[in-house]
Every structure is written in structure tokens, then in C-alpha cells.
Structure 1
Amino acid sequence: MERAPLVSIIMPVYNAAPFLRSAVADVLGQTVRDFELLLIDDGSTDGSAELCRELAAADARVRAYHQPNAGICAARNCGLERMRGRWFTFCDDDDRLLPTALETLLTAVREQGTDAARTGYRLLRQNAAGKPVELPHPPGRARRLSADSTGTEYLAFLQDSGPQFVWNALYSTEKFGSLRFDPNCRNGLEDFVFNAAFYACRPTVAYLPDVTYEHLERRGSTSACADPAAVLARLQTVPRWVEGEYAAVCAWCSDRERGSVWASRCAEVIAFAMHQMRDSRMPPGQARAAWRMLYAVLAPYPYTVLDFWSVLRQNKKKAAVLLLFRTHLQGLYGFLPNREEKLLR
């Protein structure tokens, strides 16, 4: 019987012919060699399927699968169902997995005895001229989330480890191999929904600020698209995200901690919505519909008008976001500083 690899790397592929060969080369250049790369072609029409087969034929660690177009979540789930590694991670078809990524992640889980690990990443976005521009974000301090961590420590871990993407993380297959992406998330937020379910399991996780991944948001991609219709479609996933976030908060927090931790996670969701709507220059009618939806989604969950006060000690901008939302003055968000817009000019 063929020996199972140490790590499974799942790469969904969709119309990525110009970038795929480079992305795969970065994976194959890892300092840790004991892995399999699963290329999941999601109904590409640009020759990517043929390229997947070619790359699989050239290296025994690469396996190619094909499915009718069903979205990134279905493609990742296809990989999760076929992976054989003791650990698993993800890579997008136009990104860079830096050479020591697997080595750094594996060292973290071994030395700290955790079920998963997260690292820092570099985020780039194409400006109007098509040039990649780095959007800097300060790395948090190294953290360890353990079985006896408090809700306050859980929140500190999330704040230091940054937005919860899946491509800068390593997960134990034994503990989390049964998790799946929600196939209804076809317009973004799928990583946040997946990781909310992950944290609701009370995992042990290590975070290191070392950069191991480079993510490029190309103009027109799902994550970078600022078209109002695309943003509205993306916001339809918010109910699943909120449900998962609240389940995770309840899993980690005592009754005394729950209010302040949940206020902070609410601020995260609301800030995301405000940011997306501002950047898309959403027409007033659509914006009002989006806000009605968000108020309805958050209404069943506990809150107070003054919950922004508990967030103020952690993040002043998030506290301002929560205050504007609770007082129905969210339109004023556009007057807050927008560092990204300046960088992308």
C-alpha cells in the first residue's frame, strides 16, 4: 500500500492558465518534500484542466481531479474528501506559498503540541493600472490557544492572528478532516465561515507572525470585486458567518466574558460590511436594503447600545464602527480614514 503523505495541499483551479504553473512551482519548491498537491479543476474553459493533467504527469506528488463548475467551496470539499495527509492546508491557484511555509507550520504544531497553526501573510491588490500594491498590516504577537484558554484569550488570539483565512493555516486531518466548506458561499466569506466552525470545536492552535503566504487580489476576482451587485451577493453569506461566530464565542466564553467578546466579533462583521459597501459606492437604495438585512441578521443575538464601550479598549476604529451601527449612523463610515484607497491610487 502506498504510504500516506505528511501534508495535503488543496488547490482549487478555475480558469487560471496564466498563473497556475507558477503557483504549482512554488508549492513544489517547499523545503519540506513530504506532501501531496491536489489540483481540483472546477470546470475551467481556458485550458487549465489540461495543464492540471500535465503537471500531475510531471510530478508524482501532484494529483489532478476534475468536476463541473460548482465554485471554490465545492472544489475544496472535493480535495478534503480525497486527501490522504496527516495535515492539510490550502493554496489558491494564483498565489505564492513561500518556500518555508510547510516547514514553519509543521514546526509550530510539533513544538507547541497543537491541532492547528496559523502564520502571517502578505496581501497585495492590483490597482487601476494592474500593478500589485502591498496592503501592509501589522503582525500580531505570537499566541497559543489551548484547551483551557479563556474567552478573553480566544479574542486576543483572533485579533493577533488577523482575518481568518485558510491558506495561511495548517489543520490536523484526524481532528478536522470532517469539516466542509458551505457550497452556498460562492461570492466570498467562505474562509470565515469555515474557520468559525473550526473554532467552535475548541481547537488548540499556534499563531506565528512569520510570513509564509502571498495573496494577490486581482481586479475582478471574488475577493477584490467592488461591484455593488457582487457586494450584495457577498453579504448574503453574512448570516452563516454570524451564526458560526456566535457558536464559537459561546464555545470559548464564560457568561461573564460573552458580552464583550461577542461585541468585538460583531464589530468585525459590521466593519467588513461597511468597508465593502463604501468601496463599491453602493447606491442608496441598495445600501438601505443591505443595512436592513444586517440589522435583521444581528437582531436575535444579544447586544446593548453601549457595547461599543467594551470594544474601545481593543480597537478604536472597530468601536467607532459599532457605535455608528448601533445609532443608525453607519453612513458616516465614509468619513473615517481609508488607507487602502490612498495606497491603490
Structure 2
Amino acid sequence: MVELISVIVPVYKVEKYLTSCVTSLMAQSYRNLEIILVDDGSPDRSGDLCDTLAAQDERIVVIHKPNGGLSDARNAGIETAKGDYLFFLDSDDTIHEETLEILWKNLKENQVDISVCSYLAYFEGEDIDTVLPEQSIEKMSNIEALWKMFDPEYNVQMIICTNKLYKKALWDTIRFPIGKIQEDEFTTYKLIYKAKTIVYTDLKMYYYLQRSDSITGTGKMSRKNLQVFDAFSERATFFEKEGLKELSARSNQQSLNRMIVTYQKASAAPDNDKTILQALKKKFDATYCSYKTKSLLSTKDRVKNGLFSISPTLFRVFHNLIAK
């Protein structure tokens, strides 16, 4: 018997996009699916649309629940899922018609725990090239996959949760964090570490819609934007406890680098709340002072961190001089 794949789709204020999303699932060449639509208390017609779509395909299961956020919706789907494997699809995105079949075959043929594909980011109204070339496959250990999270060529593919087919057993003790943004940063590394092996295909089979009404990189910040640094800190601590000191050091330095860049960008935006900048600097200093693996860093990183800790303004002056 062909194994069951449970696809979890969190739904909130997406009535414009939901039909396209679910249609891409109903058209999958891999037919043994459980399509779980989690209506997260959506105030528009998305909840009704879920029920309409469910009437068209018996594989669709609808959960209506009070609004709890993206993590809560995904967790509700995990609790409901009956499949041998889990796949997450955001409700404004779509996938290629062979995505689940190829991911499943790659997983089975390579005897791995997680199967990953690449993704294609596109803008509304832009055509998508759905012709798939011959794939290139890379099988890797969990540790090799964790290092890919810091590789510019692979980092997004490894960090996001939505381009992966997982053995459901990996989720037995892992859930998405409630009330956090960038919840993937808190979660995916734990699943990769728990997996024994991972397979990656370079086929771009997950279609990530860049919505015109999405948040852009304007430099405008809120305190929630600082949560990603909590994720980096948790990841560094996790690696340290598991004896992966080099990965811990890399996580900490990534966090410090992102804090510096975020601070510089936000300080240049005149309408940002200065108390948020102060909170970011305080978080930088706390991370820098508690850093247990500074000796593993390059001299350049140690100098950069120390200078920014002394004075962000002084750091900017030196950075601009070096850039010239």
C-alpha cells in the first residue's frame, strides 16, 4: 500500500490565494494524501472556502479553530495528521504537480528521514516555468545538513520548514513555538539534528509567492523583530549542549552579525523607536558577553564584535572608512 502523506496548510486571510494553493495539492501525481486545512479563526471568507474545497475532494480535512497564530495552526495540523509523512504548505504558495512524488521517491530510494527540494520565489502576476530539468541529488548526514544552514547557497532551503517531506516520527517531541515570528528558525534545526540523513534535490518545486501586501525591508522594526535573535541564541545553546562547539560558535556569530546589520539599518530609519534600538544593543551585549566559544572565531570577527560592543557609532565610522 502506498504510504499516506499529510499536508498541513494554515489558513488566515488568504481567500484570494487559497484555491490556487489547494488546487496544486489536489493535482499532485502522488495521490495518497491527507490535505489538512487549518482555519485559524480567519476573519474573511477563508474558513467558508475551506469547507467549499473540502466538498470537492474527500482527501481534504478542515479544522476550524480560534486564532492562535501560524505556529498554533501548524501544531493543530500535526496533532490531527494521520500520515506516515508530513509536508507543510503556506496557503498563499503552490507546488509543482510532481513535488510530493519526487520528494517521497528521493526519501525512499536514499533511505533518509527528510527529503528537501529547492524553491522558486516569484511575484504576483509573474509566470512560473514549471518544466523540471534532470535533478541533481545530494545525500548528507544531519551534521552536514546543519552546516548547510550557514551556506548562502543552501541556507534558506535548509531553514524554512515548507519545502521538506518529513518522517512523521521526527515530530513526536517537537512543535512550533507559540507566539513567535520566524518560527522556522526555532524549529527546523532540531528536526535536522534528530534526522540521521537528509536528501536534497536542486529542483525548484516549491513556489513561494512574494505578495505585494507583505512586509518589505524598510528598516521599520517592532520588538517582535528581535525574536529571531532568541532563536539564534537557543540554537547556539542547543549545539553547545550536544557537543557541537563549532556549530554553536557559528550560530552565535551569525546572531551577532545579524544584530549589527539590523541595528545599522534600523538606526538609519528616522521613524524607528529608539527604545527598540536600545533593546537590540542590550541583546547584542548579553550575547557577546555570554559567548563561550569566542576562541573559535576569526580575529576579524572578534575585533568587529568588540568594536560594536564599545560603540555602534564608532563601529559605523570605522566600517565606512574601511569600505572606502
Aligning the two structures, in what range does the TM-score lie when normalised by the shorter sequence? Answer: 0.7 to 0.9
Q: Distance between the aligned counterparts of 1:59 and 1:218, measured in 2?
A: 27
Corresponding residue for 2:255? 269
275-284 or 3-12: which moved more? 275-284
2:139 to 120, 144, 159: 144
1:32-51 matches, within 5 Å, as 32-51=30-49
Deviation for aligned residue 1:93: 0.7
| Superposition deviation, residue 85 in structure 1 | 0.7
Does the Cα contact within 8 Å between 1:324 and 1:333 map onto a contact in 2? no
Q: 1:174 aligns with which of 169, 173, 177?
A: 169
Given candidates 179, 191, 197, the residue that maps to 1:204 is 197
Residues 117, 201 of structure 2: 8 Å contact kept: yes
Distance, in Å, in 2 between the alignment partners of 1:170 and 1:46 is 30
Partner of 2:294: 304
Task: State yes or no: 1:228 paired with 2:220.
Answer: yes
Shift of 1:226: 4.4
1:44-123 paired onto structure 2 within 5 Å: 44-123=42-121
Q: CA deviation at 1:274?
A: 4.6
Deviation readout 1:192-226 (Å, 9 max, x if unpaired) = 1111222342542112222121112324536x464
Provide the residue aligned with 2:147 in structure 1. 155
- Of 242, 256, 259, the residue aligned with 1:251 is 242
Task: Give 3-state SS (helix, strand or coil) of 2:97's partner.
Answer: coil
Q: Secondary structure at the match of 2:24?
A: helix
Partners in 2 of 1:209 and 1:252 — Cα distance? 31
Give the fraction of aligned pairs with identical amino acids, expressed as a percent.
23
Cα gap change, 1:165 to 1:57, in 2 (>3 Å): same
Residues 263, 308 of structure 1: 8 Å contact kept: no
- CA shift, 1:115, in A, is 0.9
SS in 2 for 1:179: coil
Q: Normalising by structure 1, what TM-score?
A: 0.75
Whole-Å separation in 2 of the counterparts to 1:87 and 1:156 = 23
Residue 183, structure 1, aligned to residue 178, structure 2: yes
Please report how far the alpha carbon of residue 112 of structure 1 lies from its aligned counterpart in structure 2 after TM superposition: 1.4
How far apart in 2 are the matches of 1:249 and 1:132? Answer: 44
The 1:226/1:27 distance shift into structure 2, 3 A limit, reads farther
Moved more, 28-37 or 272-281: 272-281
Q: Report the Cα offset of residue 58 of structure 1.
A: 0.9
| Cα deviation, residue 323, structure 1 | 5.5
How far apart, CA to CA, are the structure 1 residues paired with 2:227 and 2:116?
Answer: 27
d(CA) in 2 for partners of 1:323 and 1:100? 49
Mapped contact 2:5–2:33 kept (Cα < 8 A)? yes
May I ask how many residue pairs the two structures share in their alignment?
Answer: 302
Give, in whole Å, the separation in 2 of the partners of 1:217 and 1:334: 32
- Give secondary structure in 1 for the equivalent of 2:91: coil
Indicate if the aligned counterparts of 1:120 and 1:212 stay in contact, CA closer than 8 A. yes
Q: Using the alignment, how far apart are the partners of 2:32 and 2:212 within structure 1? A: 34
Do the aligned partners of residues 306 and 34 (structure 1) sit closer, same or farther apart at CA in structure 2, a change above 3 Å counting?
Answer: closer
Question: Residues of 2 paired with 1:304 and 1:242: CA distance?
Answer: 14
Of the three residues 228, 233, 239, the one matched with 1:242 is 233
Alpha-carbon distance between aligned partners in 2 of 1:296 and 1:131, rounded to the nearest angstrom: 45
Shift of 1:62: 0.9
Distance 1:332 1:199 in 2: 40
Instruction: Provide structure 2 residue ranges, at least 5 long, that are not aligned to the other structure.
Output: 129-135
Answer with 1 or 2: which has the greater Rg: 2
- Whether the 8 Å contact between 1:161 and 1:207 is mirrored in structure 2 is no
SS in 1 for 2:205: strand
Map of 1:26 onto structure 2 = 24
Q: Deviation digits for residues 91-127 of structure 1, max 9, x if unmatched? A: 0110121222112211221121111121211224x6x
User: Which consecutive unaligned segments of at least 5 residues does structure 1 have?
Assistant: 135-140, 310-318, 336-345
The amino acid across from 1:246 in the alignment is: T
Q: Which amino acid aligns with 2:57?
A: D
1:195 aligned partner? 188
- Name the CA shift for 1:272/1:189 in 2 (closer, same or farther; >3 Å): farther
C-alpha distance in structure 2 between counterparts of 1:119 and 1:332, whole Å: 42
SS at match of 1:24: helix
- The SS at the match of 1:18 is coil
